[in-house]
Copies of this chain bind each other. A is one copy, B any other.
Amino acid sequence: MTPSKINFSEKFSKLSADDYSVRIIAKMNDYEFKIVKFKGEFVWHSHDDTDETFIILEGKMLMHFRDKIVEINSGEMIVIPKGIEHKPTSKEGYKAILIEPEGTSNTGDAESSEATISKIEWI
């Protein structure tokens, strides 16, 4: 079937006012594209089986690693290699596109975190 385009602003406008929301917006082969809205301090975690990519659309993310902090702004991306511990934080909040294989846990090996979402929904 011929595909339709996806508008990021339209998708984000459907999210609640919560500081953290993540929803699936598209699928490419066995990878998912997700919109993520986040403000605050996430949990330390790693994904042992896969890399994952963040593209920042709005705001600022501080991606903490054990040896440094990387500031990522709108118009920038980062690929987190598998197995590398990381923790996103943001005082101002950010909106991002997250790309990773379907079924990837949002908290990786930190599965019992209160931030863990057992099933991420489409929007």
A binding-site residues for B, Cβ under 8 Å: 1-9, 26-29, 31, 33, 50-53, 55, 57, 63, 65-68, 70-72, 75-82, 84, 97, 99, 101
Q: Are A50 and B79 touching (Cβ within 8 A)?
A: no
Known pairs A1-B81, A33-B53, A68-B2; A28 contacts B99 (CB<8 A) = yes
Q: Are B81 and A3 touching (Cβ within 8 A)?
A: yes
How many copies are assembled? 2
Among A4, A5, A57, which residue has the most Cβ atoms of chain B within 10 A?
A5
**What is the bound-complex CA distance between A65 and B51, given in angstroms?**
32
Specify which chain B residues have a CB less than 8 angstroms from the CB of A67 in the assembled complex: 2
Q: Are A3 and B75 touching (Cβ within 8 A)?
A: no
Q: Are A5 and B72 touching (Cβ within 8 A)?
A: yes
Specify which chain B residues have a CB less than 8 angstroms from the CB of A7 in the assembled complex: 75-76
Known pairs A26-B53, A51-B28, A53-B28; A4 contacts B78 (CB<8 A) = yes
Q: Which B-chain residue is minimally distant from A2 (CB atoms)?
A: B65
Q: Which of B5, B27, B70 lies in contact with A76, CB distance below 8 A?
A: B5
Q: Are B3 and A79 touching (Cβ within 8 A)?
A: yes
